Amino acid sequence: MRRKSYFGAGVCIFLLFQLTSCAPKIPPEALQLSPESLKNRQLQTRRFDTDEQTMLSASAAVLQDLGFTIDESETDLGVIACSKTRGAINAGQIAGAVIFAVLTGSVTPVDKDQLIRASLITYPITVDKEDKSKCRTAVRVTFQRIVRNTSNQVTRRECINDPEVYREFFEKLSQSVFLEAHEI
């Protein structure tokens, strides 16, 4: 009898120590180059025939066109970090929640808003100080979003890798470079 309760106490102490030291570990692949990294780089990068300075101001303009606010920038390194908060209401999800509420009488939280963050990096490939048109600059943009629901919980944290988003963004950027070049 006595032995049994010692055992119980031992287990309790062990569990308690486990709890106090339970910092979750970083996933082993988090900082490893993935096989998709090259594909993502191609998706997120375009080359433009102009200098880095022009590219940066055209990019800042297009980000403003899209409603982003610039949080941070460093022209020496070709960095623009920006963000915006928008709605994340999904009609399908609301319909699902309504049906669930009717059937069970309990309310399920649905996605409410999202914080969209982007970083845009320029990289000079060819630099020609005299002739701008001989310069080549690479631009890489990456989008991420954090979605919160009506109970203010984070429901999604993800990198946006939809090719359509990037295609459309670079289309807008090309137009902006054109406008910039012609000072419109």
Question: Contact between 31 and another protein (CB under 8 A)?
Answer: yes
Selected binder of another protein within 32, 106, 133, 152 (CB under 8 A): 32
Nearest residue (CB) to another protein, 3 versus 182: 3
Judged by CB under 8 A, the chain residues 103 through 162 that form the site for another protein are: 117-119, 121, 123, 140, 142-146, 157-159
Q: How far is the CB of 31 from another protein (least distance, A)?
A: 4
Q: Which two tokens stand for residue 159?
A: 């990198």
Torsion angle, CA of 161/164/166/169, rounded to 10 degrees?
Answer: -150
How many secondary structure helices (H) and strands (E) does the chain include?
5, 6
Cβ atoms 84, 68 nearer than 8 A: yes
Judged by CB under 8 A, the chain residues 51 through 110 that form the site for another protein are: 71-72, 74, 76-79, 81
**Count of CB atoms situated within 10 Å of the CB of 3:** 7
β-strand pairing of 79-87 with 69-74: antiparallel
Binding site for another protein (CB under 8 A): 1-2, 4-6, 8-9, 12-13, 16, 20, 23-28, 30-34, 37, 40-41, 44, 71-72, 74, 76-79, 81, 117-119, 121, 123, 140, 142-146, 157-159
